[in-house]
Amino acid sequence: SQTIHQWPATLVQPVGSPLSLECTVEGTSNPNLYWYRQAAGRGLQLLFYSVGIGQISSEVPQNLSASRPQDRQFILSSKKLLLSDSGFYLCAWSSAGGTQYFGPGTRLTVL
Amino acid sequence: QKEVEQNSGPLSVPEGAIASLNCTYSDRGSQSFFWYRQYSGKSPELIMFIYSNGDKEDGRFTAQLNKASQYVSLLIRDSQPSDSATYLCAAASNFGNEKLTFGTGTRLTIIP
């Protein structure tokens, strides 16, 4: 069966510091991968999605970036965090055209 | 802008009763619709999806879709305290389901 991992589970970072969140999927090949952010009291916001290695689509212009260095690895990065970057970051996977399944998430607090 | 709207609640339902959760969407091109359950502090988990008009049943859950009215609902029969959670509705605007638009969720509380 497929398993999706995210780390770290929680993170507290100062404003202006860099960020790297990692997501890996097991038990499937060539998945579609997604990064979402859920801010307090708001809905899930799609940040990036990828249909293959090196293929990244950005949905929201901001100070975040994503990379997919391997088939089942998806990384969310920032060079300088803002207070507004605080939130619950969720990675999801799907097969092509399939339903999205979420990882456990990373709770990020920017101070 | 494509939107999915849900009543934020909280919706309180007695144990054993039917809980009815509603969702409307603005994009007439939406093809598929998803219901996720999210416990406090946890990630969303899929309950079910629907893409044809009418009802779709899975155990205690029934999803209903009316594309003419741009309306999706989720019924939970024989509600249990473990059903207490936030329920997220999502719409996919393309057949590939890559771009899901989520509502802000309805918080459901089942009262023992």
In whole angstroms, give the CA distance from residue A24 to residue A29: 12
Those residues whose C-beta lies under 8 Å from the C-beta of residue B51, and which sit 6 or more positions away, are B31, B32, B33, B65
Distances in Å between the Cα of B45 and the Cα atoms of A98, B14, B23, B112 are 15, 23, 18, 23
Please tell me if residue B85 touches chain A, with a CB cutoff of 8 Å: no
Count CB pairs under 8 A between chains A and B. 52
Amino acid residing at A60: V
User: For residue A98, what is the enclosing H or E element?
Assistant: none
- Percent of chain B beyond pLDDT 90? 82
| Per-residue pLDDT band at B96 (split at 50, 70, 90) | low
- Give residue-wise pLDDT tens across range B52-72: 999 999 999 999 999 999 999
Which residue in B81, B25, B78 sits closest to A43, CA to CA?
Answer: B25
Which residue in B83, B87, B91 sits closest to B74, CA to CA?
Answer: B87
In whole angstroms, give the CA distance from residue B31 to residue B25: 11
Of all residues in chain B, the one with the smallest CA distance to A93 is B98
Beta strand pairing call for B19-25 and A44-52: unpaired
Tell me the pLDDT of chain A (111 aa) as tens digits. 889 999 999 999 999 999 999 999 999 989 999 999 998 877 899 999 999 998 999 888 678 999 999 999 999 999 999 999 999 999 999 988 789 999 999 999 999
Q: In this structure, what is the dihedral angle of CA atoms B94, B35, A43, A20, given to the nearest 10 degrees? A: -80
Q: Residue A40: its chain B contacts at CB < 8 A?
A: none
Of A43, A44, A49, the CB nearest to B98: A49
Q: Is B104 within 8 Å of A97 when comparing Cβ atoms?
A: no
Please tell me if residue B40 touches chain A, with a CB cutoff of 8 Å: no
Please tell me if residue B49 touches chain A, with a CB cutoff of 8 Å: yes
Please tell me if residue A102 touches chain B, with a CB cutoff of 8 Å: yes
CA B82 vs. chain centroid, Å, equals 16
- Give residue-wise pLDDT tens across range B11-49: 999 999 999 999 999 988 888 999 999 999 999 999 999
Q: How many CB atoms neighbour CB A70 within 10 A?
A: 10
Q: Is B96 within 8 Å of A97 when comparing Cβ atoms?
A: yes
Q: In this structure, what is the dihedral angle of CA atoms A64, B8, B28, A51, given to the nearest 10 degrees? A: 30
